[in-house]
Structure 1
């Protein structure tokens, strides 16, 4: 029995231009109406997740900043996981030494547990640069930006915290996501779905790959969950 759904936002319920795919909206509300708690899980900031939650009508805890920030909507309590602010600062300095001036996204400097950078440099080279200099920080591609963060912070670990808040097990949670920053969440959930547009790494760890992309894929996944719950 699936009792909650952890749902990525960008690239999953939005299209490649970050516009909401309305195909998903009715399915999300149908899941909530059936008693399944929908939990938004995004690499974006908490304020973005809160706004999206209100518009979609989701009731579950919010997972923001790739799992670095968790917000319980029932109690309005926020949990911020430790980050590596000093190492992140050093990492950005190294990136600018190698690639020139690094462009942050508009929300980057307001983040509490990491930074989001425009995709203007080589990801693999940046990762190797951190390794060579002994920095224990991760860099991942969210599909829309490069995120640098504490490697201990990810959506999979945050999913366990969400399960605890909801007083259920992770086996009772379904996860839907499309990008590299969703991989740990997809692996930790009881059942997982990658929409047709997902990156190959997300598809490899998911138990199901939908025939449709973006919001239509989410609608397909939720329909499957509701049918199995009957």
Structure 2
């Protein structure tokens, strides 16, 4: 009898459709039926992956905001402070730029530890200002994330593994971006979907032939039947 390994799943570019927006609903059933912990590790604001877990019907094991927020199902750990990132964005605004999300800015409304800027905005001055504040800008392919240099997804996954009680060496991780590299470094086996950026492809143990949710589903089928 095979035993499902613990999973670490990115969201954007990994569980989504090829048009880049919206989770592919085909991933719901295999994730819900997985007989091991499933960690959702994403750059999205904290409420989004919690809601995803809730609607899929799995325990809320979450690494959000690129490691800035870690939720073990019992405890929430904040590993960074939004204040410095907010200061960077305010200076960015003062120089005549914008986060680029419109007045309501739901992308950042519930973000606790970082600020995301639309990819249509210039990254050069954003990186310059961030560096002056001792922060970094991570381009995930979906947004520019202004964040503390210390937190990352891999550390968040390790925190959850320690609290929940599973072995990182048994974990399988799937992702598509530079912010997944730290996860790939701490788990036993890692896969990059074919639409992944070069940093994720280089860090992964294997690059699958299919993109987005198709690639993820192919990995789930393979590791479940191994």
Match of 1:187 among 182, 185, 188: 185
**Structure 1 pair 122–89 and aligned structure 2 pair: CA distance change class (3 A):** same
2:85 aligned partner: 88
Q: In 2, Cα distance between the equivalents of 1:26 and 1:193?
A: 20
Kindly indicate whether residue 120 of structure 2 is the aligned counterpart of residue 117 of structure 1. Answer: no
Structure 1 residue ranges without an equivalent (≥5):
none
Q: In 1, Cα distance between the equivalents of 2:96 and 2:13?
A: 27
**Pairs aligned (count):** 220
Contact 1:109–1:115 (8 Å) recurs in 2 = no
Pairs within 5 Å for 1:16-165: 16-30=19-33, 32=34, 35-59=35-59, 61-73=61-73, 75=74, 77-83=75-81, 85=83, 87-98=84-95, 100-104=97-101, 105-131=105-131, 133=132, 135-165=133-163
TM-score (norm 1): 0.85
Q: In 2, Cα distance between the equivalents of 1:207 and 1:161?
A: 22
Q: In 1, Cα distance between the equivalents of 2:86 and 2:65?
A: 17
CA apart distance, 1:12: 0.7
Q: In 2, Cα distance between the equivalents of 1:102 and 1:50?
A: 24
TM-score (norm 2): 0.87
**Structure 1 pair 213–151 and aligned structure 2 pair: CA distance change class (3 A):** same
1:117-137 CA-to-partner distances (Å, cap 9, x unmatched) read 112333355324433x3x211
2:167 aligned partner: 169
**Structure 1 pair 187–81 and aligned structure 2 pair: CA distance change class (3 A):** same
**Structure 1 pair 24–136 and aligned structure 2 pair: CA distance change class (3 A):** same
SS in 2 for 1:107: helix
